[in-house]
């Protein structure tokens, strides 16, 4: 077997063990577990404790939408910060790239900070109280 393939053997083993383990648990629970009552609801799909079938147009607070949007924005900030944090030490030593890498990130964070202040002042982070206009 070529070395490219042999490095995937552990992954293959993991898959086999995972299947065997979960299948084993199911078999063991049917063989050894208690047989209780079995109402219809127990046969429905398990979806984190929520009812799997509900009206599609459920209502939820618009605040979740704002929080999700802000989360995506500041998540992207971290996406940019990570690779920067990995290389900035070595690049800062070089006088050619040092100021560049510093000011670039500072500009990016600065623009994001303006957005942060805007969201803050518009009350996007006030969960309990009524949002100020």
Binding site for other proteins (CB under 8 A): 100, 103, 111, 114, 117-118, 121-122
Of 2 and 133, nearer to other proteins (C-beta) is 133
Q: How far is the CB of 109 from other proteins (least distance, A)?
A: 13
Q: What tokens does 55 get? A: 């009206």
Long-range contacts at 99-107 (CB < 8 A, ≥ 24 apart): 105/80, 105/81
Of 63 and 122, nearer to other proteins (C-beta) is 122
Of 19 and 111, nearer to other proteins (C-beta) is 111
Q: How far is the CB of 125 from other proteins (least distance, A)?
A: 13
Q: How far is the CB of 87 from other proteins (least distance, A)?
A: 16
State the Cα–Cα distance between residues 63 and 124, nearest whole angstrom.
8
124 neighbors 117 (Cβ within 8 angstroms): no
68 neighbors 61 (Cβ within 8 angstroms): no
């Amino acid at each position: 077997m070529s070395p490219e393939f042999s490095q995937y053997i552990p992954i293959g083993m993991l898959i086999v063990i995972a299947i065997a383990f979960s299948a084993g648990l199911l078999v063991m629970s049917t063989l050894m577990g208690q047989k209780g009552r079995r109402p219809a609801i127990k046969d429905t799909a398990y979806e984190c404790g929520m009812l799997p079938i509900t009206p599609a147009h459920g209502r939820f607070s618009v605040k979740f939408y704002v929080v999700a949007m802000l989360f995506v924005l500041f998540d992207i900030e971290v996406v940019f910060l990570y690779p920067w944090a990995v290389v900035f030490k070595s690049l800062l030593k070089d006088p050619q790239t040092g100021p560049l890498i510093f000011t670039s990130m500072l500009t990016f964070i600065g623009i994001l900070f303006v957005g942060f202040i805007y969201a803050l002042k518009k009350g996007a982070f006030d969960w309990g109280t009524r949002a100020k206009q």
